[in-house]
Amino acid sequence: MEFKDYYAILGVSPDASEEEIKRAFRRLALKYHPDRNPGDKAAEEKFKEINEAYQVLGDPEKRARYDQLRASYEQWRQAGMPGGFDWSQWFTTPGGVRVEFRDLDDLFGGVGGFSEFFRRLFGFAPGEEEGLWGFGEPFVQAEPRTRHTRRRRPAFEHPITISLHEAYHGTTRHIEINGRRLEVKIPPGARTGTRVRLRRVIPLEDGSLADLYLVVNVAPDPRFEREGDDLYTEVPVDLFTAVLGGEVRVPTLKGDVYLRIPPGTQCGQTFRLRGRGMPRLKQPNQYGDLYVRIKVLIPKDLTSEERKLFQQLASLRQQSVRT
């Protein structure tokens, strides 16, 4: 079994803050995203590895469990003890309800799937298919008690992770309960915290059936930030287009579009694309907006001729200002 150093993968220290981890993830994910590296298998593997590291370090509970394993592993490695590291105390096997991804390649934009280390540390049995998870402890929904109300039956929660692309278009998961397979639809516009209810599917000891709630977690996307139903993205623009005006290509979750920017566009200036954000949950025909922040790229490594031209331009500009 190969130990995964998720801190090294993201290039952060073990005491890095949540914000530092998020920034490192976004920087690396943008660099190795398949859209920027079409056909590059090495970049795909790196992108998948980065996503896996963030799935652990970006989740406080997973990070705490991983840190405990990491400390134990480092202690064993530094001690130089004979024999292999004892993984048995860290790896668990799930049971009960199993949640299966319909298409693992949808999870991270075409390069889904987790390493054996991740699968076994967070609940996969050795050799078990990716995407199969156990369900959590039951909970009882609280409600005011009166003489005429009956105690609510227990229910179960199970977390699932979907990509922002899946949250935009909607997606499907398959549930296997005692050999019975159920198809569950995650609606367009789902966000982190959205709960999808399956009525009376978990058998209880008394013969009754409990509800199962799939609690959605939308994985970060390196291209977009989400605030409610609105999306934010940053688009690089060369200096000449910013000065003279022109068109820039903007990524959206329905494909690229072209945005016309006026002459004199400033770095950090934001443009609004109406209806290019996320669909509204339960109102899939209505959409939020996409806000495009402009990042002006300053040319580097100027040739001597280019430098002279810029100097002439600066001189002309100074004369114009004085006049």
Write the pLDDT tens digit of every residue in 47-97. Answer: 888 988 998 898 888 899 899 888 888 888 877 666 677 776 676 444 444
100 and 216 assigned to the same domain: yes
Confidence (pLDDT) at 101: 40
3 and 119 assigned to the same domain: no
Confidence (pLDDT) at 164: 93
Residues of the chain with pLDDT under 50: 92-112, 124-137, 139-145, 149
Distance from C-alpha of 19 to C-alpha of 172, rounded to nearest angstrom: 31
Q: What size, in residues, is the chain?
A: 323
323 located within any domain: no
Angle 210-213-217 (CA atoms, 0-180°, nearest 5)?
160
Its domain, for residue 68, covers: 1-90
Confidence (pLDDT) at 152: 61
Q: pLDDT tens digits for 223-244?
A: 999 999 999 999 999 999 999 9
5 located within any domain: yes
Distance from C-alpha of 191 to C-alpha of 226, rounded to nearest angstrom: 9
114 and 83 assigned to the same domain: no
37 and 60 assigned to the same domain: yes
260 and 155 assigned to the same domain: no
74 and 195 assigned to the same domain: no
Confidence (pLDDT) at 248: 96
311 located within any domain: no
Q: Side chain identity at 90, as an amino acid letter?
A: W
Phi, psi of 61 (to 5 degrees): -70, -45
Confidence (pLDDT) at 47: 87
Tally the domains of the chain: 3
78 and 18 assigned to the same domain: yes
Distance from C-alpha of 3 to C-alpha of 85, rounded to nearest angstrom: 10
Confidence (pLDDT) at 134: 41
Confidence (pLDDT) at 156: 81
